[in-house]
Amino acid sequence: MPGPRDSSYDLTIDVIDMITLEKSKCFARAATQRTPIAIAEGGFLPASPVDPLLAVSFRTLEYFRRLRLRKASYSVEAFAKTVCDLYGIPYRRRFRTAISDTYDVYLSILRIVDGRVKTYLGQDGPNWRVKNACPACTCKVRRGLTTDVKMLTRAYSHCEADLEWDRMFCIDGNNSLKRIAKIGDREIADRREFTASDYYLLADYVDRFKGEVKSTRRQDSAGHGRRLRDDVLKQCTQNWKAAASDAKKKMWSIFEETGVFASACRHGFILWVVDMVRSGELAKYALAIVAKALEVFEDRLLIGYDIGCTFDGTIKRSSLGPEFVQLKCRCIVNAFHGYSHSHSCQTVNHPSVIKGAGLEDFEGMERAFSASNELAVITRYASKYHRRMHIDRHYAQWDDDKYANLGTMLYNNYRQALEILEEEVPLLEYWLAENGCREEDLDSWQQEESAYFATIGKVTEADQFAVEYVTRLREYWDRAADSMSAFVTTIREDYQASATRSRSSRATTDYLRDASDTLKREAEMRLLREQRDSALRDVIALELRMGINQRWTPTTPRFIETAQWVNKHDYRLVLEELHRLVVQRLFELQSMNLSHTGTSVIAKSLQRRSKAIRRALRAYNQAAAKLNPPQPPLDWTKVSHYAFIELLRDTRNDLQDKRWAQSNTQEYMKKSRKIKRAREEIARCNIEVRRVHTAVLLENEKLDTAVKTSRTERNPISGAIAEYSDRRQAVNERLLGAIAKIYALKGFTGNPTPGRRKGSSTIPVASTLPTASETPTHDPEDSGNDGEDDEYDEEREVEAMRMLDFANNLT
């Protein structure tokens, strides 16, 4: 029998344990055992690796980790004060330092454990997370395969079809997660770089796209400035900081990182994150994420961005353009943000008009940022290492919550689409029958509306040349007259004859002044002659282009006729512009339902549009005065109340006879689009539900095998693998319950059986799904813990003990 244990090497130190509230503890230690290991075997983590005087229990650290995952703004100091309150003592900074230091070590241990578990499960390959985190996006099912012989025929008839868009995701930037930069010569103690995250794209990768796309300002052939398309894009981009001028995007120099630029799939899973460094939302951040998506994903990507209308052109002008076009990808604007864009942009880029977009609003990043904004409290003054670590852990927990609620999200989407069909289809059918129309007519009117806003205000090439010829001809005549009289007809107002001039020194001064004036007049004359010659060259070029053999004169009948046409043409142009702005505003107000919206961003966008209308109104009054006979001027009051419909008959794009412009027709065109998107949503959900069903069953089988094998092999991380398996399978059971509810929906049209994952030879064994009554109702935006608090605490206890066992083996 072994002799009595030598207790001379035991040590007693102060401890922090919010469960037992012990103030000190004696740790047994062998003669050859290191002090930190002895303390860890006792369930505590020392605050120092050498001669520790204080230790924190693993249970306390685990509780703090869980609290911070659920409340991102919960600081170490607040937790330390809570612990002091439990101990019944005043706040001690020593506790805060000890908890902060041990918490960093604790998280490092967990990252090692998680890394080894992922390696054992084969989840550590390049880009594994973005390729597998969201089973609804990634677990593609091979066609026509089922494990149920009775369902064989139905499986083939409901196989996974090709979707219009293979992957849909959104991108956006957020400037709340700033970090104060180094001030002066102050040295920063913590110089570590957090590189353990697979969410972040490296700065070197992002900087590849720095300054790649230059801003371009195209001029039309007639020299009238930007084309209408550029004007429309300008109206869209001026509403958003992401597309504002550099002067408006300068950040305070006191910040090093000014926020994050991130992306998420349509189900809310975070794809990649980029730090914005001393800048606003530069194009390089978005281009880097698009480049990574093109590298990792397949074709047909649909990307939502609040300035997607302009960013689509940015991508195509970049080095990514050829591949982006070849893979049939495109950018659109987010649903809610889209209502601040011009109506001409909405008819092309809003999700409600995009075939295959379903009911997706592409506002996933707004939801993610709403949650991550709580991190700003603890990241503003954190070190670079801790800031990135906190962001990484927050988004990892965010993804875990999204996975737990994935089935409920699909259930809610499916039910929403069914409700739309149930409510809207009868109304649309009744209206079509009452008006003698078909659904194809609504599609035709939609195309007419898009074409109208794409062409309104534009002039033909022949009109442009006629306007330019008369303009250049008049300019040439003006320059010729000015150059002839610029010198010989110029006499100073204070000129005096030489006979009356004094012969004093004043005469010399006058002479020098007159000589200087003469040189200035000669320079002006040379400039006018150059302008005259330049105008003449333009006139000759236009005459050759238009086939004019004899130059027109002011008495030429064709010149008189064209001059009158020019005046009317200018009048129509400004009237078209005024018309476009007002009609556009009408449709924007209707589409966004302003009376039920209180968003300041949209209100400001309408104010900007009103300013544009006022400018167009001034231009109209100037052009109207030149007509023969002149048109009466308009004032803002009349235009703002849209009481000038009769005037709009002068425009080429008159809306009087356009069926789609009628408010009643517009309403049912929107209903028709909504119904189409609902049907697309059902088709996509049918595919995604089966993907999730297949992925869950495959994962459960893989986890069961991994747990058995690791125990047989006596693997040191078998406890961690078993703990991960228990938690994951509990979540998977919840997903299967939500899937059962989807299959039980009245109107479900998908295949209620699992399939074979594309690229895999394994067919999952179909298990009995929970009944719909056994599945709790849960909102997709909730945290995912409703009704599970008691069970959750017990699991947390087990996890802490298993982690401790592994930490011992680690050392």
Tally the residues of the chain: 811
For the stretch 571-584, pLDDT in tens is 767 776 776 676 66
Tell me which DSSP letter residue 190 carries.
Answer: -
Of 306, 230, 232, 312, which Cα lies nearest the Cα of 584? 232
Instruction: Please give the C-alpha separations between residue 206 and each of 202, 272, 375, in angstroms, as whole numbers.
Output: 7, 12, 24
Judged by phi (left if over 0) then psi (alpha if -120 to 50, else beta), residue 597 lies in beta
CB of 263 closer than 8 Å to CB of 98: no
- Please tell me the predicted confidence (pLDDT) of residue 8: 76
CB of 300 closer than 8 Å to CB of 306: no
Cβ neighbourhood burial of 477 (10 Å; 0-12, 13-18, 19+): middle
Question: Cα–Cα distance between 304 and 331 in angstroms, integer?
Answer: 6
Question: Cα–Cα distance between 237 and 229 in angstroms, integer?
Answer: 12
SS3 state of residue 31 = coil
SS3 state of residue 662 = coil
Q: CA 115, 116, 120: angle at the middle one, nearest 5?
A: 120
- Please tell me the predicted confidence (pLDDT) of residue 529: 79
- Please tell me the predicted confidence (pLDDT) of residue 504: 55
**Structural tokens at position 743:** 């299959």
CB of 161 closer than 8 Å to CB of 684: no
**Structural tokens at position 40:** 């860890």
**Structural tokens at position 506:** 């004043």
Give the position of tokens 């120092």: 48
Cβ neighbourhood burial of 523 (10 Å; 0-12, 13-18, 19+): exposed
Judged by phi (left if over 0) then psi (alpha if -120 to 50, else beta), residue 706 lies in alpha
Question: Cα–Cα distance between 345 and 229 in angstroms, integer?
Answer: 9
Question: Cα–Cα distance between 797 and 472 in angstroms, integer?
Answer: 85
Going by C-beta distance under 8 Å and a sequence separation of 6 or more, which residues neighbour residue 308?
A: 331, 332, 333, 334, 349
CB of 334 closer than 8 Å to CB of 306: yes
Count of C-beta atoms within a 10 Å radius of residue 493? 4
Of 684, 587, 802, which Cα lies nearest the Cα of 58? 802
CB of 372 closer than 8 Å to CB of 348: no
pTM across the whole model: 0.73
Residues of the chain with pLDDT under 70: 1-5, 143-160, 183-189, 214-253, 455-464, 466-467, 482-508, 510-511, 558, 561-562, 565, 569, 572, 576, 579-580, 582-609, 636-657, 761-763, 765-768, 771-811
Question: Cα–Cα distance between 181 and 494 in angstroms, integer?
Answer: 65
SS3 state of residue 392 = helix
CB of 717 closer than 8 Å to CB of 392: no
Going by C-beta distance under 8 Å and a sequence separation of 6 or more, which residues neighbour residue 283?
A: 209, 212, 213, 311, 314, 318
CB of 54 closer than 8 Å to CB of 98: yes
Q: CA 112, 61, 372: angle at the middle one, nearest 5?
A: 80
Of 605, 751, 528, 518, which Cα lies nearest the Cα of 235? 605
Of 390, 380, 397, 379, which Cα lies nearest the Cα of 104? 390
For the stretch 727-782, pLDDT in tens is 999 999 999 999 999 999 999 999 998 888 887 766 676 666 776 555 544 444 44
CB of 175 closer than 8 Å to CB of 251: yes
Question: Cα–Cα distance between 63 and 625 in angstroms, integer?
Answer: 78
Strands 54-57 and 11-16, sheet pairing: parallel
Cβ neighbourhood burial of 758 (10 Å; 0-12, 13-18, 19+): middle
CB of 103 closer than 8 Å to CB of 64: yes
Question: Cα–Cα distance between 374 and 165 in angstroms, integer?
Answer: 34
Going by C-beta distance under 8 Å and a sequence separation of 6 or more, which residues neighbour residue 40?
A: 46, 804, 807, 808, 811
CB of 642 closer than 8 Å to CB of 385: no
Question: Cα–Cα distance between 36 and 597 in angstroms, integer?
Answer: 60
Going by C-beta distance under 8 Å and a sequence separation of 6 or more, which residues neighbour residue 255?
A: 178, 179, 180, 181, 278
Half-sphere exposure of 661 (CA within 13 A, CB side): 13
Domain boundaries, the chain: 7-120, 130-140+666-810, 163-404, 461-489+507-551, 559-652
Tell me which DSSP letter residue 20 carries.
Answer: T
Omega cis (within 30) before 629: yes
Question: Cα–Cα distance between 30 and 375 in angstroms, integer?
Answer: 44
What is the identity of the amino acid at 737?
G
